[in-house]
Chains A and B, each alone.
Chain A
Amino acid sequence: MLDANVAGSPLLVVENLKVHFPVMSGTVFQKQVASVKAVDGVSFTLNRGETLGLVGESGCGKSTTGLAVLRMLDITGGRVVFDGQDITRHDRAAMRPIRKRMQMVYQDPFGSLNPRMKVVDLIAEPMIVHDILPNRSARSDRARELLALVGLRPDMADRYIHEFSGGQRQRIGVARALAMSPELLICDEPVSALDVSIQAQIVNLFQDLQQSLGLTYVFVAHDLAVVRHISDRIAVMYLGRIVEIADRETLYKRPQHPYTQALLAAVPIPDPEIEATRPQIAVTGEVPSALRPPPGCRFHTRCPRATDVCKTEEPVLRDLGGGQMVSCHHV
């Protein structure tokens, strides 16, 4: 279990994070003509052993936030502080010791794994890169240990990835991420590609590993029910911003932001009797382009509560108490 004195200090602090991608144009001389504000002022803190869920629709900046925290992308503005160290401007060399401590788990474990490598080598690869276990047989032992940890048989280490089902591949992906004994895992849609019966196995695995290893998760997913199940706190993103953040109980029982409310109403509950009486959704249209986010509140073009002030003035995240923060003029 966790040490009492480290349990309280945040492992990750993200302050006003901005990641803007340049949009280039021109045939001979490439010139920057615009920028995509993929992440535009995101803040949150994450305590050790906690899970922060990151939800929102396609293109709202979930993956970009995760990649920026891992410093796999250049940060345009704001700060990322990992275990007390500001890593915002760390170069590759400075990041090296820290990168071991934070790892990524991807949606499509097959796409991110080399098909010509045996499972044992796939898992050992990061150990070689980071010079963890110099001895080949020690690495192989560790790989087998990790396979057992994620619920696979150690003898599966000598097989190739195409011999595994989707759920097994995701387990292998997790084993690989765990090879460096990281403290923080950024899980980017780790169960989205899996069938529901398999999804539950992997969700349970994440929870078991968190218990036994004291892991801290950023859990990115578009399935709000899965996120609710696994997270302690949840941040709802819309066009590069967090519009609401709260503990899961509050967020799902008393969502305050009109977008959070619409998002939750849009998710059907697997019970026809409940569905027959649930209020229908209020939002129309689709998410605007991140290249030209609407002025004022970015949600105003789809918001049922929008008034004139929403079209011009940008709302800021306000603390409603109890850790619930909302950015809306009318809350």
Chain B
Amino acid sequence: MNHDVVVVGGNRVPFTKGGTHYAEASNHDLLTAAIDGLVARYGLAGTRLDEVAGGAVLKHANDFNLTREVVLSSALAPETPAVDLQQACATGLETTMYIANKIALGQARVGIAAGVDSTSDAPIAVSDSLRRILHAASGARTAKDRIGILAKIRPSHLAPVPPRVSEPRTGLTMGEHQAITTKRWGVTREQQDEIAVASHRNLARAWDEGFFDDLVTPYLSLARDGIMRPDSSMEKLAKLKPAFGGPEGTMTAGNSTALSDGAAAVLLASAEYAEENHLPVLARVVDAEVAAVDHPGGSDLLMAPVGATGRLLARQGLTVDDFALVEIHEAFAATVVATLKAWEDADYCRSLGLDGPIGTLDTSRLNVNGSSLATGHPFAATGARIVPSLAKMLAARGPGSKGLISVCAAGGQGVVAILEAV
């Protein structure tokens, strides 16, 4: 890389359960709020940035230029260009790498990477048959023809079709896929519930310590993450019924992420730009890797980050022990457990083409200020939530401290990245 890319800081709105506090807010509203908070934190009002990359997983057709429209609604200079990207749940990490790579190549000096999702405002499509009738009607030559065509509409055509939450090639939902993985890797209910409790407690402690004072800006009078349960406990979680994997299943609503609303943004710059413009510097973006698995062929849908991690560490000549902190996105608590088991499994790692096991993680370094179970997981926002939080934690540990981010995504994909405090 020609230019050092640094994380200046970030901002997000508090995340919360879909259909609750942000029920009336659109992706556009949420992302504008996240970016405006970032702009205010770093005094960027009226500044022209080189580019803003953002995205949403659940997106309305007329939001094709979502991020650019958000820029125009924001306090940034209207001359700031923007791009929409999407890589399912890894979108926020992928937008980070998109901007980082441009900065590294010298194509940009400063930019924002972001992600947003609103399950409250998810687009609802009309049925295929209704769509065909409507298209035909709009193509009709005369009013009479049009009425004739529209007369074909039946009540059954009017039922809205919510966005598909299942994998197109397997017909299974993500939870059902994870349930297969959970069983295959022998992940227990206790392991999952422990992760969920830790997530809530760590997040609550971080809030109480003021960790998020310069990472989150309240939105619509919501000042803290709405899903967080500081009083979460093993006893309470043990009472929940299985949600996936049948009656014997170990996955519950308590150890699976909730459908969430939220937006997050990261300010990235070249080291020179940050210095010239007196911007703080938390960490350097070191490297990243994306991977996919053949889930239609039977591979574990949410385990693609394992292969990406192995290849990334090999390329950087690093081992698991070199990381002061590790952030593994908690799509489900079981995803985290299975991922860590896979890291230790020599045969599995070799099957991915790696030389051997990735290693064993000291879990005291894992998700130390909570992760998606407690915070929530507005799909595209999660990567952009993790990057600035991790960068801040690394900066507090001192120069040279390294952190690893691992995010799984629908379609059997995954993105991992390395940050290092400067």
Q: Do A and B bind each other?
A: no
Residues of A in contact with B (beta carbons under 8 Å apart): none
Residues of B in contact with A (beta carbons under 8 Å apart): none
